[in-house]
Amino acid sequence: MLPQQLPGQGFYMNISQIWIGVSLVVLAVIAFLVFFVARNRKENRLTPLAGLAFGFILAGIFFGTDMLVGYGLMGVGVLLAVIDIFNKARKT
């Protein structure tokens, strides 16, 4: 028997697991809108560096059980996003 499962009942989820699930659903909806709905727009296309930053942030959320790895991956994602912002500002 799993620790989260009670006999005769479904899975038990604590509040942090519920918030992680909600945030993953919201991020999936945002990713869907960015990649598929806004595909034909040229002015706000997602750059490869921004996509890589998004992937690192998602990996940080997925591997968040080990705080050093989770925060490290999120930090790399934020750093890549900031670099992408500076590159876009310099081009205009």
The residue type found at 51 is G
pLDDT at 75 over 50: yes
Asked if 6 contacts 12 with a C-beta cutoff of 8 angstroms, the reply is yes
Mind listing the pLDDT tens digit for each residue in 33-65?
Answer: 777 766 666 666 778 899 899 999 888 888 878
The arithmetic mean of pLDDT across residues 67-76, rounded, is 89
Under DSSP, the state recorded for 44 is: T
Nearest to residue 24, comparing CAs of 50, 60, 53? 60
